[in-house]
Protein backbone atom coordinates (compact mmCIF):
# COMPACT_ATOMS: atom_id res chain seq x y z
CA UNK A 1 0.00 0.00 0.00
CA UNK A 2 1.65 3.15 -1.17
CA UNK A 3 -0.11 5.42 1.32
CA UNK A 4 -0.15 4.29 4.93
CA UNK A 5 -3.45 6.08 5.48
CA UNK A 6 -5.05 5.39 2.12
CA UNK A 7 -8.71 6.28 2.11
CA UNK A 8 -8.36 8.75 4.95
CA UNK A 9 -7.45 11.88 3.03
CA UNK A 10 -8.27 15.48 3.80
CA UNK A 11 -10.81 17.80 2.26
CA UNK A 12 -7.97 19.64 0.57
CA UNK A 13 -6.67 16.44 -1.02
CA UNK A 14 -3.39 16.87 0.83
CA UNK A 15 -1.84 14.63 3.43
CA UNK A 16 0.81 15.69 5.94
CA UNK A 17 3.99 13.60 5.89
CA UNK A 18 4.02 10.60 8.20
CA UNK A 19 6.62 10.97 10.92
CA UNK A 20 8.64 8.16 12.42
CA UNK A 21 6.41 7.72 15.44
CA UNK A 22 3.25 7.20 13.38
CA UNK A 23 5.06 4.91 10.98
CA UNK A 24 5.99 2.67 13.92
CA UNK A 25 2.43 2.63 15.25
CA UNK A 26 0.62 2.23 11.93
CA UNK A 27 2.96 0.64 9.41
CA UNK A 28 4.56 -2.15 11.42
CA UNK A 29 1.58 -4.29 12.28
CA UNK A 30 3.38 -7.28 10.80
CA UNK A 31 6.20 -6.96 13.35
CA UNK A 32 6.04 -8.64 16.77
CA UNK A 33 4.78 -6.49 19.61
CA UNK A 34 8.24 -6.52 21.17
CA UNK A 35 9.68 -4.89 18.03
CA UNK A 36 7.05 -2.18 17.94
CA UNK A 37 7.29 -1.52 21.66
CA UNK A 38 11.09 -1.34 21.60
CA UNK A 39 11.04 1.02 18.61
CA UNK A 40 8.59 3.31 20.37
CA UNK A 41 10.78 3.32 23.46
CA UNK A 42 13.77 4.14 21.29
CA UNK A 43 11.85 6.90 19.56
CA UNK A 44 11.15 8.54 22.89
CA UNK A 45 14.85 8.54 23.66
CA UNK A 46 16.29 11.96 22.84
CA UNK A 47 19.16 10.67 20.73
CA UNK A 48 16.89 8.43 18.68
CA UNK A 49 14.37 11.24 18.28
CA UNK A 50 17.04 13.56 16.91
CA UNK A 51 18.09 11.02 14.31
CA UNK A 52 14.60 9.83 13.33
CA UNK A 53 12.39 12.90 13.28
CA UNK A 54 13.84 14.15 10.01
CA UNK A 55 13.03 10.85 8.29
CA UNK A 56 9.80 11.01 6.31
CA UNK A 57 7.67 8.23 4.98
CA UNK A 58 8.44 6.07 3.00
CA UNK A 59 12.16 6.36 3.85
CA UNK A 60 11.49 5.69 7.51
CA UNK A 61 9.95 2.33 6.62
CA UNK A 62 13.23 0.75 5.64
CA UNK A 63 15.25 2.49 8.35
CA UNK A 64 13.08 1.35 11.22
CA UNK A 65 12.37 -2.12 9.89
CA UNK A 66 16.04 -2.86 9.46
CA UNK A 67 16.72 -1.48 12.93
CA UNK A 68 14.13 -3.81 14.41
CA UNK A 69 15.47 -7.10 13.05
CA UNK A 70 18.52 -7.68 15.25
CA UNK A 71 16.89 -6.42 18.46
CA UNK A 72 17.20 -8.81 21.45
CA UNK A 73 14.28 -9.31 23.84
CA UNK A 74 14.06 -9.68 27.55
CA UNK A 75 10.91 -11.78 27.10
CA UNK A 76 10.88 -14.18 24.17
CA UNK A 77 7.32 -15.15 25.05
CA UNK A 78 4.92 -13.50 24.68
CA UNK A 79 6.62 -10.28 23.51
CA UNK A 80 7.81 -12.05 20.41
CA UNK A 81 4.26 -13.00 19.45
CA UNK A 82 2.59 -10.41 17.22
CA UNK A 83 -0.93 -9.37 18.15
CA UNK A 84 -3.29 -9.81 15.25
CA UNK A 85 -6.92 -10.25 14.35
CA UNK A 86 -6.08 -13.71 13.07
CA UNK A 87 -4.89 -14.87 16.50
CA UNK A 88 -7.16 -16.47 19.09
CA UNK A 89 -6.82 -13.62 21.57
CA UNK A 90 -7.50 -11.02 18.89
CA UNK A 91 -10.57 -12.89 17.63
CA UNK A 92 -12.05 -13.32 21.10
CA UNK A 93 -11.42 -9.66 21.85
CA UNK A 94 -13.13 -8.63 18.61
CA UNK A 95 -16.15 -10.83 19.39
CA UNK A 96 -16.44 -9.34 22.88
CA UNK A 97 -16.11 -5.83 21.44
CA UNK A 98 -18.85 -6.42 18.86
CA UNK A 99 -21.18 -8.02 21.44
CA UNK A 100 -20.76 -5.12 23.84
CA UNK A 101 -21.18 -2.42 21.17
CA UNK A 102 -24.31 -4.11 19.83
CA UNK A 103 -25.70 -4.52 23.35
CA UNK A 104 -25.15 -0.86 24.16
CA UNK A 105 -26.94 0.05 20.93
CA UNK A 106 -29.82 -2.28 21.85
CA UNK A 107 -30.11 -0.79 25.34
CA UNK A 108 -29.97 2.77 23.97
CA UNK A 109 -32.72 2.15 21.38
CA UNK A 110 -34.85 -0.11 23.59
CA UNK A 111 -37.11 2.73 24.75
CA UNK A 112 -37.61 4.27 21.29
CA UNK A 113 -40.26 1.76 20.03
CA UNK A 114 -42.49 2.20 23.13
CA UNK A 115 -42.95 5.96 22.96
CA UNK A 116 -46.73 5.63 23.27
CA UNK A 117 -46.50 2.89 25.91
CA UNK A 118 -44.50 5.12 28.24
CA UNK A 119 -47.00 7.96 27.77
CA UNK A 120 -50.03 5.74 28.31
CA UNK A 121 -48.80 3.43 31.08
CA UNK A 122 -47.02 6.02 33.22
CA UNK A 123 -48.73 9.22 32.10
CA UNK A 124 -45.55 10.93 30.98
CA UNK A 125 -45.53 13.86 28.60
CA UNK A 126 -43.75 13.61 25.25
CA UNK A 127 -40.96 15.81 26.65
CA UNK A 128 -40.37 13.40 29.54
CA UNK A 129 -40.20 10.42 27.16
CA UNK A 130 -37.72 12.17 24.88
CA UNK A 131 -35.67 13.29 27.89
CA UNK A 132 -35.45 9.64 28.95
CA UNK A 133 -34.27 8.65 25.46
CA UNK A 134 -31.82 11.53 25.00
CA UNK A 135 -30.30 11.59 28.49
CA UNK A 136 -27.73 8.79 27.86
CA UNK A 137 -26.38 10.72 24.87
CA UNK A 138 -26.15 13.98 26.80
CA UNK A 139 -24.43 12.35 29.74
CA UNK A 140 -22.09 10.40 27.45
CA UNK A 141 -21.14 13.62 25.63
CA UNK A 142 -20.05 15.17 28.94
CA UNK A 143 -18.24 12.09 30.18
CA UNK A 144 -16.55 10.91 26.94
CA UNK A 145 -13.40 13.04 27.15
CA UNK A 146 -12.74 12.44 30.88
CA UNK A 147 -13.34 8.72 30.33
CA UNK A 148 -10.95 8.64 27.36
CA UNK A 149 -8.31 10.37 29.46
CA UNK A 150 -8.88 7.99 32.38
CA UNK A 151 -8.64 4.87 30.16
CA UNK A 152 -5.82 6.15 27.95
CA UNK A 153 -3.45 3.37 29.03
CA UNK A 154 -6.09 0.83 30.08
CA UNK A 155 -6.28 -2.48 28.26
CA UNK A 156 -9.25 -3.21 26.03
CA UNK A 157 -10.52 -5.84 28.43
CA UNK A 158 -10.44 -3.39 31.33
CA UNK A 159 -12.49 -0.92 29.30
CA UNK A 160 -14.99 -3.59 28.31
CA UNK A 161 -15.37 -4.79 31.89
CA UNK A 162 -16.06 -1.22 33.09
CA UNK A 163 -18.57 -0.70 30.29
CA UNK A 164 -20.49 -3.95 30.77
CA UNK A 165 -20.59 -3.35 34.54
CA UNK A 166 -22.18 0.07 33.96
CA UNK A 167 -24.61 -1.51 31.47
CA UNK A 168 -25.64 -4.16 33.99
CA UNK A 169 -26.00 -1.69 36.87
CA UNK A 170 -27.94 0.77 34.69
CA UNK A 171 -30.48 -1.81 33.54
CA UNK A 172 -31.09 -3.00 37.11
CA UNK A 173 -31.47 0.57 38.40
CA UNK A 174 -34.03 1.21 35.64
CA UNK A 175 -35.84 -1.97 36.69
CA UNK A 176 -36.31 -0.45 40.15
CA UNK A 177 -38.92 1.79 38.49
CA UNK A 178 -41.46 -1.00 39.09
CA UNK A 179 -41.34 -0.11 42.80
CA UNK A 180 -42.27 3.56 42.23
CA UNK A 181 -40.74 6.89 41.08
CA UNK A 182 -40.32 5.59 37.50
CA UNK A 183 -38.83 8.75 36.01
CA UNK A 184 -36.10 9.07 38.64
CA UNK A 185 -35.06 5.41 38.52
CA UNK A 186 -35.17 5.16 34.73
CA UNK A 187 -33.22 8.40 34.28
CA UNK A 188 -30.56 7.23 36.73
CA UNK A 189 -30.32 3.93 34.88
CA UNK A 190 -29.97 5.76 31.57
CA UNK A 191 -27.10 7.79 33.03
CA UNK A 192 -25.23 4.59 33.83
CA UNK A 193 -25.82 3.59 30.22
CA UNK A 194 -24.29 6.93 29.17
CA UNK A 195 -21.15 6.11 31.18
CA UNK A 196 -20.96 2.70 29.48
CA UNK A 197 -21.16 4.35 26.06
CA UNK A 198 -18.56 6.98 26.96
CA UNK A 199 -16.05 4.38 28.16
CA UNK A 200 -16.41 2.37 24.93
CA UNK A 201 -15.93 5.30 22.53
CA UNK A 202 -12.11 4.91 22.13
CA UNK A 203 -12.20 1.09 22.17
CA UNK A 204 -12.52 0.43 18.40
CA UNK A 205 -9.60 2.77 17.65
CA UNK A 206 -7.54 1.06 20.35
CA UNK A 207 -8.29 -2.33 18.86
CA UNK A 208 -7.29 -1.10 15.41
CA UNK A 209 -3.94 0.25 16.61
CA UNK A 210 -3.00 -2.66 18.86
CA UNK A 211 -4.41 -5.82 17.31
CA UNK A 212 -4.45 -5.16 13.57
CA UNK A 213 -2.85 -1.84 12.58
CA UNK A 214 -2.38 -2.90 8.96
CA UNK A 215 -6.11 -3.14 8.23
CA UNK A 216 -7.50 -2.11 11.59
CA UNK A 217 -9.68 0.76 10.41
CA UNK A 218 -11.51 -1.42 7.92
CA UNK A 219 -12.02 -4.26 10.41
CA UNK A 220 -13.19 -2.12 13.32
CA UNK A 221 -15.34 0.17 11.17
CA UNK A 222 -17.18 -2.82 9.70
CA UNK A 223 -17.67 -4.39 13.13
CA UNK A 224 -18.83 -1.10 14.64
CA UNK A 225 -21.33 -0.44 11.82
CA UNK A 226 -22.85 -3.91 11.88
CA UNK A 227 -22.99 -4.15 15.68
CA UNK A 228 -24.62 -0.75 16.17
CA UNK A 229 -27.18 -1.17 13.41
CA UNK A 230 -28.14 -4.72 14.41
CA UNK A 231 -28.53 -3.53 17.99
CA UNK A 232 -30.66 -0.66 16.71
CA UNK A 233 -33.05 -2.86 14.69
CA UNK A 234 -33.79 -5.58 17.25
CA UNK A 235 -35.68 -3.37 19.77
CA UNK A 236 -38.33 -2.55 17.17
CA UNK A 237 -39.19 -6.26 16.98
CA UNK A 238 -38.50 -7.40 20.54
CA UNK A 239 -39.46 -4.58 22.91
CA UNK A 240 -43.07 -3.89 21.79
CA UNK A 241 -43.86 -7.61 22.00
CA UNK A 242 -42.48 -7.81 25.56
CA UNK A 243 -44.51 -4.74 26.58
CA UNK A 244 -47.76 -6.16 25.18
CA UNK A 245 -47.58 -4.67 21.69
CA UNK A 246 -50.75 -2.58 21.95
CA UNK A 247 -49.24 0.71 23.12
CA UNK A 248 -50.78 0.58 26.60
CA UNK A 249 -47.61 -0.76 28.25
CA UNK A 250 -49.43 -3.34 30.37
CA UNK A 251 -46.22 -5.40 30.65
CA UNK A 252 -43.81 -2.48 31.01
CA UNK A 253 -42.48 -3.84 34.31
CA UNK A 254 -41.71 -7.17 32.64
CA UNK A 255 -39.79 -5.32 29.95
CA UNK A 256 -37.65 -3.49 32.51
CA UNK A 257 -36.85 -6.73 34.33
CA UNK A 258 -36.11 -8.49 31.04
CA UNK A 259 -33.74 -5.70 30.06
CA UNK A 260 -31.95 -6.07 33.42
CA UNK A 261 -31.54 -9.81 32.81
CA UNK A 262 -30.23 -8.99 29.33
CA UNK A 263 -27.64 -6.59 30.76
CA UNK A 264 -26.51 -9.26 33.21
CA UNK A 265 -26.25 -11.82 30.41
CA UNK A 266 -24.08 -9.47 28.34
CA UNK A 267 -21.73 -8.99 31.29
CA UNK A 268 -21.56 -12.77 31.72
CA UNK A 269 -20.72 -13.25 28.03
CA UNK A 270 -17.92 -10.68 28.17
CA UNK A 271 -16.51 -12.26 31.34
CA UNK A 272 -16.70 -15.68 29.69
CA UNK A 273 -14.84 -14.47 26.62
CA UNK A 274 -12.24 -12.81 28.84
CA UNK A 275 -11.61 -16.05 30.73
CA UNK A 276 -11.23 -17.95 27.44
CA UNK A 277 -8.40 -15.66 26.29
CA UNK A 278 -5.15 -17.06 27.62
CA UNK A 279 -3.06 -13.98 28.37
CA UNK A 280 -0.64 -13.59 31.24
CA UNK A 281 0.39 -10.53 33.22
CA UNK A 282 3.38 -9.84 30.95
CA UNK A 283 1.17 -9.59 27.87
CA UNK A 284 -1.20 -7.20 29.59
CA UNK A 285 1.75 -5.16 30.82
CA UNK A 286 3.08 -4.97 27.27
CA UNK A 287 -0.30 -3.74 26.03
CA UNK A 288 -0.33 -0.99 28.66
CA UNK A 289 3.25 -0.01 27.81
CA UNK A 290 2.41 0.08 24.11
CA UNK A 291 -0.48 2.49 24.70
CA UNK A 292 1.70 4.64 26.94
CA UNK A 293 4.57 4.76 24.42
CA UNK A 294 2.28 5.46 21.46
CA UNK A 295 1.25 8.87 22.84
CA UNK A 296 3.60 11.75 22.11
CA UNK A 297 1.64 14.33 24.13
CA UNK A 298 -0.87 14.47 26.94
CA UNK A 299 -4.48 13.59 26.23
CA UNK A 300 -5.84 17.07 26.88
CA UNK A 301 -3.17 18.71 24.72
CA UNK A 302 -4.04 16.34 21.87
CA UNK A 303 -7.77 16.93 22.37
CA UNK A 304 -7.22 20.70 22.26
CA UNK A 305 -5.21 20.32 19.06
CA UNK A 306 -8.05 18.34 17.48
CA UNK A 307 -10.61 20.91 18.63
CA UNK A 308 -8.60 23.70 16.98
CA UNK A 309 -8.42 21.85 13.66
CA UNK A 310 -10.49 23.99 11.27
CA UNK A 311 -10.81 21.31 8.60
CA UNK A 312 -12.10 18.89 11.20
CA UNK A 313 -14.59 21.42 12.56
CA UNK A 314 -15.77 22.31 9.04
CA UNK A 315 -16.77 18.70 8.41
CA UNK A 316 -17.75 17.60 11.91
CA UNK A 317 -20.28 20.35 12.62
CA UNK A 318 -22.56 19.73 9.60
CA UNK A 319 -22.30 15.96 9.92
CA UNK A 320 -23.15 16.15 13.63
CA UNK A 321 -26.26 18.16 12.77
CA UNK A 322 -27.22 15.65 10.08
CA UNK A 323 -26.77 12.65 12.38
CA UNK A 324 -28.70 14.36 15.19
CA UNK A 325 -31.63 15.02 12.84
CA UNK A 326 -31.54 11.37 11.79
CA UNK A 327 -31.54 10.23 15.41
CA UNK A 328 -34.45 12.55 16.24
CA UNK A 329 -36.38 11.18 13.26
CA UNK A 330 -35.83 7.57 14.36
CA UNK A 331 -36.77 8.44 17.95
CA UNK A 332 -40.10 10.02 16.98
CA UNK A 333 -40.97 7.75 14.05
CA UNK A 334 -42.93 5.16 16.12
CA UNK A 335 -44.97 8.05 17.56
CA UNK A 336 -45.58 9.47 14.08
CA UNK A 337 -46.86 6.13 12.79
CA UNK A 338 -49.18 5.80 15.80
CA UNK A 339 -51.07 8.95 14.71
CA UNK A 340 -53.98 8.93 12.25
CA UNK A 341 -54.30 7.87 9.49
CA UNK A 342 -51.70 5.10 10.03
CA UNK A 343 -52.71 4.43 13.64
CA UNK A 344 -50.15 1.64 14.12
CA UNK A 345 -49.52 0.00 17.48
CA UNK A 346 -45.88 -0.17 18.68
CA UNK A 347 -45.69 -3.80 17.55
CA UNK A 348 -47.24 -2.98 14.18
CA UNK A 349 -44.80 -0.11 13.67
CA UNK A 350 -41.90 -2.32 14.76
CA UNK A 351 -42.69 -4.86 12.05
CA UNK A 352 -41.92 -2.09 9.56
CA UNK A 353 -39.21 -0.11 11.33
CA UNK A 354 -36.78 -2.97 11.99
CA UNK A 355 -35.77 -2.54 8.33
CA UNK A 356 -34.19 0.86 9.05
CA UNK A 357 -30.94 -0.70 10.29
CA UNK A 358 -30.34 -2.97 7.25
CA UNK A 359 -31.07 0.08 5.11
CA UNK A 360 -28.28 1.90 6.95
CA UNK A 361 -25.87 -0.91 6.06
CA UNK A 362 -26.92 -0.59 2.42
CA UNK A 363 -26.17 3.13 2.56
CA UNK A 364 -22.70 2.42 3.97
CA UNK A 365 -22.03 -0.07 1.19
CA UNK A 366 -23.19 2.44 -1.42
CA UNK A 367 -20.94 5.26 -0.22
CA UNK A 368 -17.97 2.85 -0.23
CA UNK A 369 -18.70 1.50 -3.72
CA UNK A 370 -16.29 2.39 -6.52
CA UNK A 371 -19.14 3.49 -8.77
CA UNK A 372 -20.16 6.20 -6.27
CA UNK A 373 -17.60 7.85 -3.98
CA UNK A 374 -15.14 4.97 -3.47
CA UNK A 375 -14.76 6.11 0.12
CA UNK A 376 -12.11 3.52 1.00
CA UNK A 377 -9.60 4.91 -1.49
CA UNK A 378 -10.82 8.40 -2.40
CA UNK A 379 -9.49 11.42 -0.56
CA UNK A 380 -12.43 13.71 -1.33
CA UNK A 381 -14.90 13.81 1.55
CA UNK A 382 -16.58 17.06 0.61
CA UNK A 383 -18.64 15.66 -2.26
CA UNK A 384 -19.65 12.61 -0.22
CA UNK A 385 -20.72 14.66 2.80
CA UNK A 386 -22.73 17.13 0.70
CA UNK A 387 -24.47 14.29 -1.12
CA UNK A 388 -25.38 12.61 2.18
CA UNK A 389 -26.81 15.81 3.68
CA UNK A 390 -28.80 16.57 0.52
CA UNK A 391 -30.14 13.01 0.38
CA UNK A 392 -31.26 13.15 4.02
CA UNK A 393 -33.08 16.45 3.41
CA UNK A 394 -34.69 15.17 0.22
CA UNK A 395 -36.01 11.92 1.67
CA UNK A 396 -37.25 13.70 4.80
CA UNK A 397 -39.22 16.15 2.66
CA UNK A 398 -40.70 13.28 0.62
CA UNK A 399 -41.67 11.44 3.83
CA UNK A 400 -43.46 14.54 5.14
CA UNK A 401 -45.30 14.97 1.85
CA UNK A 402 -46.46 11.34 1.76
CA UNK A 403 -47.31 10.99 5.45
CA UNK A 404 -51.12 11.18 5.14
CA UNK A 405 -51.25 10.19 1.48
CA UNK A 406 -49.94 6.64 1.37
CA UNK A 407 -49.67 3.33 3.25
CA UNK A 408 -47.30 2.50 6.14
CA UNK A 409 -45.33 0.16 3.88
CA UNK A 410 -44.58 2.92 1.39
CA UNK A 411 -43.74 5.31 4.22
CA UNK A 412 -41.33 2.72 5.58
CA UNK A 413 -39.64 2.45 2.19
CA UNK A 414 -39.03 6.20 2.18
CA UNK A 415 -37.84 6.05 5.80
CA UNK A 416 -35.41 3.29 4.79
CA UNK A 417 -34.00 5.49 2.04
CA UNK A 418 -33.54 8.22 4.65
CA UNK A 419 -31.84 5.65 6.90
CA UNK A 420 -29.52 4.65 4.05
CA UNK A 421 -28.50 8.30 3.64
CA UNK A 422 -27.95 8.61 7.40
CA UNK A 423 -25.83 5.43 7.42
CA UNK A 424 -23.70 6.81 4.62
CA UNK A 425 -23.30 10.05 6.60
CA UNK A 426 -22.14 8.06 9.60
CA UNK A 427 -19.46 6.24 7.58
CA UNK A 428 -18.22 9.46 5.96
CA UNK A 429 -17.93 11.02 9.41
CA UNK A 430 -16.06 7.99 10.77
CA UNK A 431 -13.40 8.01 8.10
CA UNK A 432 -13.02 11.75 7.63
CA UNK A 433 -12.58 12.50 11.33
CA UNK A 434 -9.70 10.06 11.70
CA UNK A 435 -7.89 11.59 8.76
CA UNK A 436 -8.58 15.28 9.25
CA UNK A 437 -7.47 15.12 12.88
CA UNK A 438 -4.06 13.67 11.91
CA UNK A 439 -1.47 13.68 13.51
CA UNK A 440 -3.66 13.49 16.65
CA UNK A 441 -3.94 9.83 17.60
CA UNK A 442 -7.16 8.13 16.62
CA UNK A 443 -8.23 7.22 20.15
CA UNK A 444 -8.18 10.93 21.02
CA UNK A 445 -9.72 12.25 17.79
CA UNK A 446 -12.53 9.69 17.94
CA UNK A 447 -13.32 10.79 21.51
CA UNK A 448 -13.42 14.48 20.53
CA UNK A 449 -15.63 13.84 17.51
CA UNK A 450 -17.93 11.45 19.40
CA UNK A 451 -18.41 13.98 22.20
CA UNK A 452 -19.58 16.58 19.67
CA UNK A 453 -21.92 14.18 17.85
CA UNK A 454 -23.37 12.80 21.10
CA UNK A 455 -23.99 16.32 22.41
CA UNK A 456 -25.88 17.29 19.27
CA UNK A 457 -27.68 13.94 19.31
CA UNK A 458 -28.96 14.68 22.80
CA UNK A 459 -29.96 18.32 22.32
CA UNK A 460 -31.71 18.17 18.93
CA UNK A 461 -34.39 15.62 20.01
CA UNK A 462 -35.20 17.76 23.05
CA UNK A 463 -35.51 20.86 20.88
CA UNK A 464 -37.60 18.88 18.39
CA UNK A 465 -40.18 17.71 20.91
CA UNK A 466 -40.63 21.28 22.14
CA UNK A 467 -41.77 22.19 18.61
CA UNK A 468 -44.43 19.50 18.15
CA UNK A 469 -47.33 21.94 18.07
CA UNK A 470 -49.09 21.17 14.78
CA UNK A 471 -48.28 23.53 11.98
CA UNK A 472 -51.91 23.21 10.83
CA UNK A 473 -53.59 25.18 13.62
CA UNK A 474 -57.07 23.68 13.01
CA UNK A 475 -56.03 20.72 15.17
CA UNK A 476 -55.92 21.13 18.92
CA UNK A 477 -53.37 18.41 19.70
CA UNK A 478 -50.86 16.15 18.01
CA UNK A 479 -53.12 13.15 18.63
CA UNK A 480 -55.95 14.71 16.61
CA UNK A 481 -53.74 15.88 13.77
CA UNK A 482 -53.48 13.50 10.78
CA UNK A 483 -50.15 15.01 9.84
CA UNK A 484 -48.61 14.69 13.30
CA UNK A 485 -45.14 15.73 14.25
CA UNK A 486 -43.27 15.67 10.93
CA UNK A 487 -45.45 18.38 9.34
CA UNK A 488 -45.26 20.48 12.50
CA UNK A 489 -42.66 23.02 13.48
CA UNK A 490 -40.35 20.08 14.20
CA UNK A 491 -40.16 19.17 10.53
CA UNK A 492 -39.34 22.75 9.63
CA UNK A 493 -36.68 22.78 12.35
CA UNK A 494 -35.09 19.61 10.94
CA UNK A 495 -35.05 21.02 7.42
CA UNK A 496 -33.41 24.22 8.68
CA UNK A 497 -30.70 22.18 10.41
CA UNK A 498 -30.05 20.13 7.27
CA UNK A 499 -29.98 23.32 5.20
CA UNK A 500 -27.41 24.81 7.57
CA UNK A 501 -25.38 21.60 7.37
CA UNK A 502 -25.40 21.68 3.57
CA UNK A 503 -24.39 25.34 3.54
Query: Per-residue pLDDT tens for 353-388?
Result: 899 989 999 999 999 888 888 887 777 788 899 999
Q: Is residue 145 part of a domain?
A: yes
Across the chain, what does the average pLDDT equal? 79
Predicted confidence band of residue 242 (pLDDT cuts 50, 70, 90): confident
Tens-digit pLDDT profile for residues 278-318 = 777 777 788 888 888 777 788 899 899 988 888 888 899 99
Residue 123 domain-assigned? yes
Task: Please indicate, yes or no, whether residues 322 and 254 belong to a single structural domain of this protein.
Answer: no
CB of 4 closer than 8 Å to CB of 20: no
| Number of domains present in the structure of the chain | 3
Do residue 274 and residue 222 come from a single domain? Answer: yes
pLDDT band at 141 (very low <50, low <70, confident <90, very high): very high
Closest CA to 293 of 43, 73, 40: 40
pLDDT(81) > 80 = no
Residues 273 and 200 in one domain: yes
* Same domain membership, residue 234 and residue 100: yes
Residue 274: count other Cβ atoms within 10 Å of its Cβ.
Answer: 17
Do 7 and 63 reside in the same domain of the chain?
A: yes
Which domain, by its residues, includes 48? 1-72
The reply to whether 407 and 465 lie within a common domain is yes
What are the tens digits of pLDDT across the range 393-407?
999 999 988 887 788
Asked if the structure places residue 128 within a domain, the reply is yes
Domain identity same for 26 and 134: no
Residue 300 sits in the same domain as residue 284: no
Please write the tens of the pLDDT for every residue from 31-44.
555 556 666 555 55
Question: Is the whole model's pTM more than 0.85, yes or no?
Answer: no
Look at residues 235, 257, 288 and tell me which one is the last residue of a structural domain: 288
Tell me if 78 is assigned to some domain.
Answer: no
| Mean pLDDT along residues 168-179 | 91
Question: Domain for residue 257, yes or no?
Answer: yes
pLDDT category at 250 given cuts 50, 70, 90 is confident
3-state helix, strand, coil in the chain (%, to 5): 70, 0, 30
Phi–psi pair at 433, nearest 5 degrees: -60, -45
Q: Is the pLDDT of residue 484 over 90?
A: no
Among 17, 37, 72, identify where a domain stops: 72
Burial 367-392 (b: 16+ CB within 10 A, else e): bbeeeebebbebbebeebbebbbebb
Domain at 363, CATH number: 1.20.1250.20
11 pLDDT exceeds 60? no
Domain presence at residue 77: no
- What mean pLDDT do residues 114-132 have? 82
Distance of CA 219 to the CA centre of its chain: 15
Residue 75 pLDDT: 35
Residue 366 lies in a domain: yes
- Domain end call among 230, 264, 288: 288
| pLDDT band of 465, cuts 50, 70, 90 | confident
Highest mean pLDDT: which of 132-146, 464-478, 480-494?
132-146
66 or 486, which is more confident: 486
Amino acid sequence: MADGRAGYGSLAQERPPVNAHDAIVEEFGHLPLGDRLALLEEYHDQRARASLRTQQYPCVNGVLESAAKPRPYEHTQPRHQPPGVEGRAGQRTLVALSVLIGSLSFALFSTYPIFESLRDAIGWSSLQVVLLNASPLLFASVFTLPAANFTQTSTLWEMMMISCTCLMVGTWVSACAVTGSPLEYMLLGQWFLGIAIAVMVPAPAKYAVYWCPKNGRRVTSDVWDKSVLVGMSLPFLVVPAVCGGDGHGKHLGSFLLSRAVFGTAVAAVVVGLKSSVERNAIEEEDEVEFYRASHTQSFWAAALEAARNRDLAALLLPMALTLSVALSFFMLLPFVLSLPPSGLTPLGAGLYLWALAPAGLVGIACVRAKVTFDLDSSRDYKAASLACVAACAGWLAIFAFLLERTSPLQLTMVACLFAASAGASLRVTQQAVLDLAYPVQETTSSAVASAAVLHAGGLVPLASILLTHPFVLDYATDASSPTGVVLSLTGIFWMLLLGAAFA
